[in-house]
């Protein structure tokens, strides 16, 4: 006899585990099948948490490297980084958080079934590789199997020299040199980590600019800062070949002018995006609409196959739609909506224009809403306001004066359409920007929202003033 539940969730990442907790809160009997040794998925074990822990180490090193400026005296000798201690601290943070999810499962009486799930029919899941058993879901099976790193043609990941973020988070020595393929969030975060730790870093990006999804002004500012930090950058450049050797990787890249550049590095980190995890899940022949391996869903995460929902990194809204953002907070928001829908609660679709995106490189980047170009493309009569952090007292005190806040607004109704930031604490300041978009705030309302002094947040208010052509401090 299969063990019976109301809901069976496959995958305990930030999408699946949050869906499970919300469903249990609403009185449903829930099981989660997860094959990794810990709960939390990519975010907690391989992604957000370990990378941001490493970035905090890089930040600590930056502060210590500049102690003289701060008048702090420390003993003689070179300042360095002990990677074993870095890894130990990072692992402790990851374990603490994954155990925290285990605790939440116990608290909410959610059963963690350890093993690999395979769908065998409506309401039916077989678990293998671990606690082999049959499960039945009387209401819904939620597919939240996430994503895994993928490469590009000509570059075969060997996980030794040609590595992914999964290996990069665990390096026990600072590489002498590392080439990074791709300058999205993952690529530029690792560039910041390894450059600060002392590596010779080269970024190779196929598109003409760094962080290609961000506003063009943000890309230009990051390029300026990265160059100042000594990071080598090749944009508009295509890697055609990468061959691992015992000591490193030989890379062939085609530059924008057609010339071939040979780059050697100890490691090549492939950060060219992630693909869906659906292999072996048993989706074939069940009526799912799969697009390039992603599971197509509607705006309430229904797959079109009765009794099956899907959410998080594994989904697409279809070929005509904008790409689904692969972000932890997006998957969690989708998990909550899915659980509430299954429990019969009223739910509304997510407005993906209001999803904040953060990149924790140095300087930090955060944005929400439309870029200037996107707003123009949608036909808005656009006005922008930009304010540099460097003018602010708080930024001077912190010694972090790079970057700016840029507001994109609609001239006609004065509505804020997008807020883009690069610079100190941007990943925190974006919370205000997100609320501004969510509440359809006008530039005038932002101007008349009093911002405490001295804070980094003053840059948001001043950028609003600037959008009305009247910044006070520039
Ligand atoms: C290096 C890196 C840094 C990142 N940083 C950030 C960040 O700062 N902020 C942010 O918002 N996002 C970040 N992300 C993205 C974020 O981690 C993902 O968007 C998020 O984890 C997606 O959650 P998910 O639940 O959809 O899938 P996942 O977290 O991938 O979870 C899926 C789970 O399903 C399990 N699974 C798969 N198939 C089966 C099966 N058949 N049976 C049993 N279990 C199965 C997997 O083991 C996995 O645990 C980062 C990603 C990476 C790689």
Confirm or reject: Cβ of 313 under 6 Å from ligand 1: yes
At residue 1, the pLDDT reads: 77
Which is catalytic among the residues 453, 465, 468, 473?
453
The model's pLDDT over 224-281, given as tens digits with 9 standing for 90+, comes to 999 999 999 999 999 999 999 989 999 999 999 999 999 999 999 999 999 999 999 9
The model's pLDDT over 152-196, given as tens digits with 9 standing for 90+, comes to 998 999 999 999 999 999 999 999 999 999 999 999 999 999 999
Residues of the chain with pLDDT > 70, as a percent, come to 100
Confirm or reject: Cβ of 146 under 6 Å from ligand 1: yes
Confirm or reject: Cβ of 48 under 6 Å from ligand 1: yes
The model's pLDDT over 426-474, given as tens digits with 9 standing for 90+, comes to 999 999 999 999 999 999 999 999 999 999 999 999 999 999 999 999 9
Residue 131 has pLDDT above 80, yes or no: no
Q: Which two tokens stand for residue 453?
A: 């002094």
The model's pLDDT over 332-343, given as tens digits with 9 standing for 90+, comes to 999 999 999 999
At residue 24, the pLDDT reads: 98
Residues of the chain with pLDDT > 90, as a percent, come to 95
Confirm or reject: Cβ of 17 under 6 Å from ligand 1: no
Contact 375, 382 (CB under 8 A): yes
Residue 130 has pLDDT above 80, yes or no: no
Residue 403 has pLDDT above 90, yes or no: yes
Quote the ligand 1 centre to 200 CA distance (angstroms): 29
Contact 223, 362 (CB under 8 A): no
Mutation to probe ligand 1, out of 9, 35, 40, 43 (largest number of atoms < 8 A from CB): 43
Mutation to probe ligand 1, out of 8, 10, 11 (largest number of atoms < 8 A from CB): 11
Confirm or reject: Cβ of 40 under 6 Å from ligand 1: no
More confidently predicted of 73 and 105: 105
The model's pLDDT over 8-63, given as tens digits with 9 standing for 90+, comes to 999 999 999 999 999 999 999 999 999 999 999 999 999 999 999 999 999 999 99
3-state per-residue secondary structure call for the chain: CCEEEEEEEECCCCCHHHHHHHHHHCCCCEEEEECCCCCCHHHHHHCHHHHHHHHHHHHHHHHHHCHHHHCCCCCCCCCCCCHHHHHHHHHHHHHHHHHHHHHHHHHCCCEEEECEEEEEECCEEEEECCCCEEEEEEEEEEECCCEEECCCCCCCCCCCCEECHHHHCCCCCCCCEEEEECCCHHHHHHHHHHHHHCCEEEEECCCCCCCCCCCHHHHHHHHHHHHHCCCEEECCCEEEEEEECCCCEEEEEECCCCCEEEEEECEEEECCCEEECCCCCCCCCCCCCEECCEEECCCCCECCCCCEEECHHHEECCCCCCCCCCCHHHHHHHHHHHHHHHCCCCCCCCCHHHCCEEECCCCCEEEEECCHHHHHHCCCCEEEEEEEHHHCHHHHHHCCCCCEEEEEEECCCCEEEEEEEECCCHHHHHHHHHHHHHCCCEHHHHHCCCCCCCCCCHHHHHHHHHHCCCCCCC
Helix axes 83-107, 48-65, angle to 10 degrees: 140
Report which of 400, 446, 364, 341 is spatially closest to residue 70, judged by C-alpha positions: 400
- How far is the C-alpha of 253 from the C-alpha of 242, rounded, in Å? 9
- Active site annotation includes 59: no
Taking CA atoms only, the protein residue closest to ligand 1 atom 6 is 48
Taking CA atoms only, the protein residue closest to ligand 1 atom 34 is 11
pLDDT, averaged across the chain: 97
Q: What is the mean pLDDT of residues 369-388?
A: 98
Helix axes 458-467, 426-438, angle to 10 degrees: 50
Report which of 363, 354, 375, 353 is spatially closest to residue 459, judged by C-alpha positions: 363
Q: Is the dihedral of CA 286, 289, 294, 299 positive or negative?
A: negative
At residue 77, the pLDDT reads: 79
More confidently predicted of 130 and 454: 454
């Amino acid at each position: 006899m299969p063990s019976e539940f109301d809901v069976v969730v496959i995958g305990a990442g930030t999408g699946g585990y949050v869906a499970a907790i919300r469903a249990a809160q609403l009185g449903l009997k829930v099981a989660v099948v997860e094959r990794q040794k810990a709960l939390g998925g990519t975010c907690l074990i391989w992604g957000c948490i370990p990378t941001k822990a490493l970035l905090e180490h890089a930040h600590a090193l930056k502060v210590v490297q500049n102690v003289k400026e701060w008048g702090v005296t420390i003993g003689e000798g070179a300042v360095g980084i002990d990677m074993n201690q870095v890894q130990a601290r990072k692992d402790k943070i990851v374990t603490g958080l994954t155990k925290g999810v285990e605790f939440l499962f116990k608290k909410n009486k959610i059963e963690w079934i350890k093993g690999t799930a395979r769908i065998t029919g409506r309401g039916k899941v077989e678990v293998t590789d671990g606690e082999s058993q049959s499960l039945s879901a009387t209401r819904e099976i939620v597919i939240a199997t996430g994503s895994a790193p993928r490469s590009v043609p000509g570059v075969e990941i060997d996980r030794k020299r040609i590595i992914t973020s999964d290996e990069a988070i665990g390096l026990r020595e600072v590489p002498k040199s590392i080439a990074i393929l791709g300058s999205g969030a993952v690529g530029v975060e690792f560039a910041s980590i390894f450059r600060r730790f002392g590596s010779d870093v080269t970024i190779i990006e196929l598109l003409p600019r760094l962080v290609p999804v961000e506003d063009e002004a943000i890309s230009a500012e990051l390029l300026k800062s990265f160059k100042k930090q000594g990071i080598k950058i090749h944009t508009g450049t295509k890697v055609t070949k990468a061959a691992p050797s015992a000591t490193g990787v030989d890379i062939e890249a085609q530059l924008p002018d057609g010339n071939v550049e040979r780059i050697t590095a100890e490691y090549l980190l492939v950060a060219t995006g992630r693909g869906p995890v659906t292999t072996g899940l048993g989706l074939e022949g069940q009526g799912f609409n799969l697009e390039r391996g992603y599971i197509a869903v509607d705006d309430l995460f229904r797959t079109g196959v009765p009794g099956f929902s899907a959410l998080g990194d594994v989904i697409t809204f279809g070929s005509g739609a904008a790409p689904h953002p692969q972000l932890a907070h997006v998957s969690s928001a989708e998990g909550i909506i899915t659980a509430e829908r299954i429990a019969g609660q009223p739910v509304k679709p997510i407005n993906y224009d209001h999803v904040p995106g953060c990149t924790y490189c140095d300087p930090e980047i955060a944005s929400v809403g439309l870029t200037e170009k996107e707003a123009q493309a949608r036909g808005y009569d656009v006005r922008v306001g930009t304010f540099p952090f460097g003018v602010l007292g708080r930024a001077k005190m912190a010694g972090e004066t790079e970057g700016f806040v840029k507001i994109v607004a609609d001239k006609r109704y004065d509505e804020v359409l997008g807020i883009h930031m690069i610079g100190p604490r941007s990943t925190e300041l974006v919370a205000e920007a997100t609320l501004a978009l969510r509440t359809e705030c006008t530039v005038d309302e932002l101007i008349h929202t009093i911002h405490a002094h001295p804070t980094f947040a003053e840059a948001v208010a001043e950028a609003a003033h600037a959008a009305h052509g009247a910044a006070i401090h520039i």
